[in-house]
Amino acid sequence: MKFEEIVSNIKNKIFSPVYFLSGEQPYYIDFICNLLEEEILTEDEKGFNQTVVYGKDSNAQDIILTARQYPMMATYQVVIVKEAQDLSNIEMLNDFVANPPESSILVLCYKYKKLDKRSKLAKTLQGPKTVFFETPKLYDNEVPAWIENYCLKKGYRISPKAAMLLGFYLGTDLQKIVNEIEKLTLVVQKGQQITESHIEKHVGISKDYNVFELQNALGARDAIKATRVVMYFADNEKAGALPMVTISLYNYFAKVMRYHFATDKSRTGIAQALGVNPFFVKDYTLAATNYKPRKISEIFSILEEYDLKGKGVNNSSAPSGELLKEMIFKILN
């Protein structure tokens, strides 16, 4: 089942006897688990009818015994197993999952990994009495769009650049992203746009000295701006560490290379081919004008060279800040 369908059913009090929530993205697992805690039982009913355990501190036998208990003055006996991936004998739950009592709800939160699909339990969990959910894998280039959609659902708008900044510096940890957005909603009124200035002031990511400004400066062959950003990185390594910059620039120039070979050069076609917001297409158009495929191939070699130097290969003493300056100089020349 899809996340939205599961959430809708829970809010409409349509429950399943077993929920198996798995995958590498804990945000969705925690959201569904918390929603189940809120919606199944009232606060008065939870005292006798809700049990929360952790996988490493429990075992399948105790979980089954608790889940089979008849509820007291409530409709359901609820057992929530957090960190279920640490449950050593989880396969012993198979018979219970195959035929759970109508009066019980078992929630298994199996984080950061997936259950072996070849196992007997995995096959049983595909049955009609269970909700089997694997969190969708979110790739780095999908994060800005996720941020924009999340903000819209909350009643806010966010500029494409602000979404890119948050996504790049916070990664694919959605809970971390949501926490920062929640902070921003305290200082931005509903309906207003969250901007790079808000990100700088309340999240701590500089709107002028960041990897995206460096990319734009390089794409425009603006040596003065690129040098200014790199000087800032040299003095503030957390803002632009060499490994992070090399990876980011590699991905950036890979998109510029794809631009050259895209068959559909329309704004929509380029956005789809590069996997970027159409807002940024003009920047890639400019970069493609300034960097032909042969030069981009040279840049890939430069990035590889300095990535190795940053790891100590053919470099015994130069600090990362100096390596970064050299690398950017070579890219521009």
Mean pLDDT over 1-13 rounds to 93
Q: What is the pLDDT of residue 316?
A: 65
C-alpha atoms less than 13 angstroms from C-alpha of 62 in its C-beta half-sphere: 13
Task: Write down the pLDDT at residue 118.
Answer: 85
Domains of the chain with bracketed CATH: 3-134 (3.40.50.300), 140-202 (1.10.8.60), 211-332 (1.20.272.10)
Please give the pLDDT value at position 279.
92
Mean local confidence (pLDDT), 86-98: 92
What was the pLDDT predicted at 315?
74
Please give the average per-residue pLDDT across 72-82, as a whole number.
Answer: 95
Record the pTM: 0.79
Question: What is the rounded average pLDDT of the residues 83-102?
Answer: 93
156 secondary structure, DSSP code: -
What is the C-alpha separation between 276 and 255, in angstroms, rounded? 9
pLDDT score, position 55: 92
**Average pLDDT, stretch 152-180?**
91
Residue 16 has pLDDT above 90, yes or no: yes
pLDDT exceeds cutoff 90 at 137: no
Please say whether the beta carbons of 140 and 53 come within 8 A. no
Spatial contact of 204 and 183, defined as CB atoms under 8 Å apart: no
Give me the chain's average pLDDT, please.
Answer: 92
Q: If we measure between CA atoms, which residue out of 208, 211, 150, 212 comes closest to residue 184?
A: 150
Q: List the one residue out of 252, 245, 237 whose CA is nearest residue 307.
A: 245
What would the mean pLDDT of 148-168 be, rounded to a whole number?
92
